[in-house]
Structure 1
Amino acid sequence: MKHLFIAAAFALVSLSALADGGKSFAFGEPAPAAKATRTVEVVLKDIAFEPKRLHAKAGETVRFVLINEGKLPHEFNLGDKAMHAEHQKQMIAMQGKLFTAGMHHEGMDHGQMGHADHGHDAGNTVLVQPGQRAELTWTFRQSAPIEFACNVPGHYQAGMVGPLTIE
């Protein structure tokens, strides 16, 4: 039950973050789905991604269709190793705040939790509930050593991460 509450809170903030447009990174920035030149389906399982590796070309806009076939909430996050490590710390800190808020989340104002609390304001992350689908569209700017990963606490460490090669 706690996982569902946490996932719901992250999903609400993730959706509003995507609507805000996110921010730009050296390897690219969020883009509207209409600008995608290619669609890639990524299946999120407990605890793995299919496919295990992704490729993009510099200048390409890719629409990722994310399907969570697992029993747990999962995240699809684009970034380098340092970005993932930082996001994991933020996710753990947010998890603690949510647990101390108790299970009576109906009265909570999720908008007051703030995007900066856990890094979902950048547009490079989407949380997908079990059995649900989501999308993230990204324009890749230049070659960079990045990964796609799930930063729900413990998932990255369990191997839910893969390389994304930008050519």
Structure 2
Amino acid sequence: MMRFAAIGLALALATIWTPSGAHDHHHGHESYSAGEPGDPASPSRTIEIAMNEMSYEPFRIEVKRGEQIRFVLRNVGTEDHEFLLATTRENLEHGAMMKKHPNMAHDEPNGVRVAPKKTAEILWKFTKPGTFEYSCLIPDHREYGMTGRVTVK
């Protein structure tokens, strides 16, 4: 009888457990290197970015410190692509994690995965000066050149 209870418990746990790569990924950042999530009630400038194999258009963007941008991200390619706004170092570190968990979905205000022929939006306020990047961290996409630059003046 005890053996059947143990088997039942193992089956119950197996049905509620999923591999770590299958979960949405949320860092729980207190702050972000490139600024902060935008406020939908505040004015913003819209920048459209086309994502395809393996580039972003435009590749380079300039914004003013304190400016809020509504990124409209259009995946015009045939594969899933991501837009993750951070420092180069952060994106390289996160990309290494993505190689271990390639199906990781982002649940953060500075990142989104977009399916082919779909559109997503990110609202972002650039509160810090510097150069930041947007990058696709799906394994090998960044390495094939899928990065862009944001300069905040």
TM-score w.r.t. the length of structure 2 is: 0.76
Deviates most, 29-38 or 45-54? 29-38
AA at the equivalent of 1:143: P
- Moved segments of 4+, more than 6 Å: none
- Residue identity over aligned pairs, in percent, reads 36
AA at the equivalent of 1:44: M
Q: Find the counterpart in structure 1 of residue 149 from structure 2.
A: 163
State the structure with bigger RCO (CA 8 A, min sep 6), 1 or 2.
1
Q: 2:121, 2:41 → 1: CA distance?
A: 12
Q: 2:73, 2:29 → 1: CA distance?
A: 18
For the Cα contact (< 8 Å) 2:34–2:87, is it kept in 1?
no
TM-score w.r.t. the length of structure 1 is: 0.70
For the Cα contact (< 8 Å) 2:105–2:113, is it kept in 1?
no
1:83-122 matches, cutoff 5 A: 83-95=90-102, 120-122=106-108
CA distance 1:159–1:37, shift in 2 (3 Å) = same
Deviation at 1:23, TM superposition (A): 4.5
Q: Find the counterpart in structure 1 of residue 113 from structure 2.
A: 127
Normalized per residue, the structure richer in helix is: 1
Q: Indicate yes or no: 2:38 matched with 1:31.
A: yes
Q: Find the counterpart in structure 1 of residue 54 from structure 2.
A: 47
AA at the equivalent of 1:70: G
1:9-28 matches, cutoff 5 A: 13=24, 23-28=30-35
Q: Find the counterpart in structure 2 of residue 61 from structure 1.
A: 68
Question: Alignment length, in residue pairs?
Answer: 132
Larger-Rg structure: 2
AA at the equivalent of 1:66: L
Query: Structure 1: which 5+ residue stretches go unaligned?
Result: 1-8, 99-117
Deviation at 1:26, TM superposition (A): 3.6
CA distance 1:23–1:137, shift in 2 (3 Å) = farther
Deviation at 1:142, TM superposition (A): 1.6
Q: Which of residues 141, 146, 150 in structure 1 aligns to 2:132?
A: 146
AA at the equivalent of 1:136: I
CA distance 1:74–1:34, shift in 2 (3 Å) = farther
Query: Structure 2: which 5+ residue stretches go unaligned?
Result: 1-21
RMSD: 2.4
Secondary structure, aligned partner of 2:79: coil
